[in-house]
Chain A
Amino acid sequence: AQSVTQLGSHVSVSEGALVLLRCNYSSSVPPYLFWYVQYPNQGLQLLLKYTTGATLVKGINGFEAEFKKSETSFHLTKPSAHMSDAAEYFCAVRARDDKIIFGKGTRLHILP
């Protein structure tokens, strides 16, 4: 069965520091992988996605993620955190029947 595991329900980083949000998945079909972001009091929006091709994908707001098949991972990174990055981040994977499975989410806190 397909599943997504996000390590750490809360992550705190200092402004300007590296952001690393971890996501591991399991999938019995070629995975499509997604990161969604939910800013406070707003809906979810797509940050980036991996489908085929280049394993390093770039998204909005300076975020990127690397698909590593051997590690079944799709970790989200940003070189330098900004206060406006404070939000909840969800990793997701496509399942066999095209259903999308979400992780539990990681709330990112930015420390001044």
Chain B
Amino acid sequence: GAGVSQSPSNKVTEKGKDVELRCDPISGHTALYWYRQSLGQGLEFLIYFQGNSAPDKSGLPSDRFSAERTGGSVSTLTIQRTQQEDSAVYLCASSLAGGRSYNEQFFGPGTRLTVL
């Protein structure tokens, strides 16, 4: 079956522009996560959606970052007024929270964002 997909795979933008990154989770997965992976920085948690609950936004680094998940499926991460330090690979993952899935996450291929 189809895995987690992300688009675009690469995005180059100019400082100050807004960008939108898209994630299509595995069908039926109730949990969706966004992470940022910078060189040498490991995986930085950004935001977590679980079903109809209010999202956990505790990892968003500034108010320039926001995310939404429409209809419990597709998610969009928006970065406004991009800065050079936003350059990173943005990873999306989804999982069946709880139950026999034991929260195993399935990751998308990521979007590499470069801010010039």
- Seen from chain A, the residues whose Cβ lies within 8 Å of a Cβ on chain B are 9, 32, 34, 36, 43-46, 49, 51, 90, 92, 94, 97-105
Contacts and interface: CB of A to CB of B under 8 A. Distances in A.
Contacts, number: 56
B108 A102 contact: no
Contacts of A49: 102, 104
A97 B107 contact: no
Interface residues of B, number: 24
B70 interface: no
Contacts of B109: 43
Contacts of A103: 42
B50 A98 contact: yes
Contact of A100 (B41, B42, B103): B103
A10 to B, nearest CB: 10
Query: What's the dominant secondary structure at chain A's contact region?
Result: strand
Given A90-B43, A105-B42, A98 B108 contact: no
A90 B56 contact: no
Interface in B66-110: 91, 93, 95, 97-98, 102-105, 107-110
A9 B50 CA distance: 31
A8 B37 CA distance: 18
